[in-house]
């Protein structure tokens, strides 16, 4: 990939174009950089596409710039123009992604038993479990190669983490949706959504989630 400088302005150019523009000149099959430079033609590289938020940003081809002495075809990352409905849809999609990362690790049939298992674990800790509950906890613990105490501690730890994540995500959704509703201009929407992700980052890092 090459560019040609015309009055100091770079534009995409090819060796084939150079031959066509100069039909009376014989060029080598693979002209070197020094020869090409005599004709104002220089090598150009494509910059790696940058990371960007596909929900709130768009990426497009940017200008050709000289970076560290190398002509480089860059990328441009810009905010997507969003209406309020679109911004709220983006927020809902992001919240759904966060929720799925937590719940998606487990089949729904397993999830349906979480509340009951937590209830049994709490009863065990309070020494108020029924014989039936103790039998179930004992069976579940043996399947995990744990003692009942170890299993109960694990259940309550996971339940506490799950409740905390759901609470934080719910509060974040309420605050962000309210901020979107209160925004004075649509240009504020991307910053509001980015701020929500920044607020979620510490929790996400702690629990291995992607924001």
- Over residues 85-99, the pLDDT tens digits come to 999 999 998 888 888
Strands (E), 82-211: none
CB-neighbour burial class of residue 3 (10 A; exposed 0-12, middle 13-18, buried 19+):
buried
Q: Is the pLDDT of residue 107 over 80?
A: no
The tens digit of pLDDT for each residue in 166-207 reads 888 899 999 999 999 999 999 999 999 999 988 888 877 777
The two structure tokens encoding residue 54: 């596909």
Distance CA 20, CA 69 (A): 28
Buried-state track 164-182, b at ≥16 Cβ within 10 A, e below 16: ebeebbeebbeebbebbee
* Domain locations along the chain: 2-79, 84-207
CB 133 within 8 A of CB 124: yes
Say what the pTM is: 0.65
The tens digit of pLDDT for each residue in 123-168 reads 999 999 999 999 999 999 999 999 999 999 999 988 888 888 888 8
**Mean model confidence pLDDT for the chain:** 90
Distance CA 84, CA 75 (A): 27
Q: Is the pLDDT of residue 109 over 70?
A: no
Distance CA 200, CA 94 (A): 11
């Amino acid at each position: 990939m090459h560019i040609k400088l015309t009055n100091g302005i770079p534009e995409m150019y090819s060796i084939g174009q150079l031959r066509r523009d100069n039909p009376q000149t014989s060029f080598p099959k693979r002209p070197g950089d020094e020869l090409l430079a005599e004709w104002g033609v220089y090598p150009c590289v494509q910059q790696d596409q940058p990371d960007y938020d596909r929900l709130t940003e768009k990426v497009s081809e940017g200008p050709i710039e000289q970076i560290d002495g190398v002509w480089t075809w860059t990328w441009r990352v810009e905010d997507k123009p969003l209406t309020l409905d679109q911004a709220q849809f983006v927020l809902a999609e992001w919240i759904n992604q966060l929720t799925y990362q937590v719940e998606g690790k487990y089949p729904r049939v397993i999830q349906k038993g979480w509340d009951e298992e937590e209830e049994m674990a709490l009863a065990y800790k309070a020494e108020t479990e029924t014989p039936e509950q103790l039998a179930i906890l004992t069976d579940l613990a043996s399947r995990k190669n744990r003692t009942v105490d170890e299993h109960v501690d694990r259940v309550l730890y996971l339940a506490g983490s799950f409740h905390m994540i759901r609470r934080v995500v719910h509060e974040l959704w309420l605050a962000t949706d309210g901020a979107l509703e209160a925004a004075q201009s649509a240009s504020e929407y991307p910053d509001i959504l980015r701020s929500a992700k920044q607020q979620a980052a510490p929790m996400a890092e702690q629990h291995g989630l992607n924001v």
